[in-house]
Structure 1
Amino acid sequence: MVLLHSGVCDRRMWDPQWAALAAAGYRVIRPDLRGFGLSPVADRPYSDAGDVAELLRELGVERAALAGSSYGGRVALELAASRPELVTALALLCPAVPGQEPGPELRSFAEREDALLAAGDLDAAVELNVERWLGPEAGDEVRERVRTMQRHAFEVQLAAAEQVRQTRPEADLARIAAPCLAVSGAHDVPDFRELAAGLPERLPQARHVELPWAGHLPSLERPAEVTELLLDFLRVTVPPASANVSH
């Protein structure tokens, strides 16, 4: 079971889930993508999906279920499309999707974030992300956790002497045969709601669930409820064999 974090968090966003998944009998792997958490920025051309595939190879994992939040959902889809033999199931929480074109709301957000970072106002850029991506269920503790993870990512990425451009693998979603749970949040921006809702039309074994209380990061907003949602899906699609965890 590989847990892929969003672009405003790192592996720590899965703190509420990984132990329960391991206790249920899954070997849990939760990496930091490059430039997040404990992983440095890239010093050579790379792809996040390729990194995950290489990690699985290094760990001796021949097949794995993937859970991806937001940007992590895009990475999961890219891996499942480019290496379908590796992926047994997909649980996607408010996922980005390969090839998506941002709508007006996302473009406006990106422009505001870029302007704040260019002006050196890191505090405001962090707060912009906290307010945009967390829904009404998120309390002060969760907001502080996202604030910490987002600030760290900005600091690591802005300190890099050189930004290495990521390459993207071919992502023909029609190649994905694994069962998929696509989750959206009713308080999320329209882009992500529409992308999740549209996946059953693009993947033969996908179903969509919208959470009426959720923003963009439901696994942090109501962690226990999302943990059960993931376990219910996994027990049916990929019953566990043994328990383990890798960070």
Structure 2
Amino acid sequence: MPTLHHRDEGSGPVVVLLHAGVADLRMWDTQVAELVPGHRVVRPDLRGYGHTPLEPGASYADARDVLDLLDDLGVERFALVGASYGGWVALQVATAAADRLERLVLLDALAEVVAPDEELRSFWREEGELVEAGDLDAATDLNVATFLGPDAPDDSRDLLWRMQRGVLGLQQAAGETEPGELPVDLDALTAPATVVVGLRDLAFFVATGRGLVERLPHAELVELPWAGHLPSLERPLETAHLVRAALEQAG
């Protein structure tokens, strides 16, 4: 199993940042700059993202890769911050290592609490058709238009385009793979949780965030009227302060 490409910065309580499925570890640059004074921040590129390769035909589980990385780094206890697909991976990691988890922060997370609606399915179909046709640039344009809210600055929009285009290229080159998942048990996640929802996001993700707060034993909901799907790229500094406050509040 390849070691995940990652960055390990700072010292103090460990915070693990898990990127969205349209991005890589660079989406957290501003947040890391705010967290490193007082925290040790670990952020990996999952397989097929950023600088972590995805071998053709690979059989793997992203959550298992993250847990293996933390074990390799000697991390015993940690907080998890996950965005979008990274939130789904975070829920799997948290379930597998509930006794090691100190706090959970989810930003517009993917989770299996509501059924995908027609808006999301329509997006999936359009993206799939573009990828199948080999038009990865157009597929990237679609993702950026869908997942970045109107407050995103031009440099964030450009960064997301480059990250997503790289993801599509890596994953297309790998062909068919066998990604697996670890179980998720929301009832077992008793660590304090903050669930952040952008109210300009797709309706599926808004409903998912609200559903997570109802299901997680100790969760609070933070709704951002200005945010789409990726607040860390839309208002980077404001989101950094939000994440830091969530991590540092009393249990």
TM over 0.5: yes
Are 2:111 and 2:208, in contact at CA under 8 Å, matched by a contact in 1?
yes
1:49 paired to 2:63: yes
Q: Which whole-Å CA distance do the structure 2 matches of 1:57 and 1:4 have between them? A: 16
- Which structure 2 residues correspond to residues 1-247 of structure 1 after superposition, within 5 A? 1-23=15-37, 25-42=38-55, 44-98=58-112, 101-160=115-174, 162-237=175-250
Check whether the contact 2:114–2:211 (CA below 8 A) recurs between aligned residues: no
CA distance in 2, matches of 1:90, 1:26: 15
Corresponding pairs, count: 236
Unaligned segments of structure 2, at least 5 residues? 1-14
Q: TM-score, normalised by structure 1?
A: 0.92
Closer, same or farther in 2 for the Cα pair 1:224/1:186, shift >3 Å?
Answer: same
SS of 2:197 mapped into structure 1 = strand
Name the amino acid aligned to 1:91.
V
Find the residue that maps to 1:30 and give its secondary structure. strand
Deviations 1:82-139 (A, max 9, x none): 2211211111100001465321111000000010011111111000000000001012
- Greater relative contact order structure (CA < 8 Å, 6+ sep): 1
What residue ranges of structure 1 are gaps of 5+ in the alignment?
A: 239-247
More strand, by proportion = 2
Q: Percent identity?
A: 48
1:89–1:237: 8 Å Cα contact kept in structure 2?
Answer: no
Q: What TM-score do you get using the length of structure 2 for normalisation?
A: 0.91
Q: Partners in 1 of 2:180 and 2:68 — Cα distance?
A: 15
Q: Is the Cα–Cα contact under 8 Å of residues 68 and 95 in structure 1 kept in the other structure? A: yes
Shift of 1:169: 1.1
In structure 2, C-alpha distance between the alignment counterparts of 1:112 and 1:16, rounded to whole Å:
31
DSSP-derived class of the 2:178 partner: coil
Post-superposition Cα deviations, 1:26-66, rounded to whole Å, max 9, x if no partner, equal 10001000000000114542111111111110000011100
Would you identify which runs of 4 or more consecutive aligned residues in structure 1 move more than 4 Å? Answer: none
Q: Is the 8 A contact 1:63 1:88 kept in 2?
A: yes
Farther off after superposition, 147-156 or 37-46:
37-46
- 2-side partners of 1:62 and 1:99: how far apart? 29
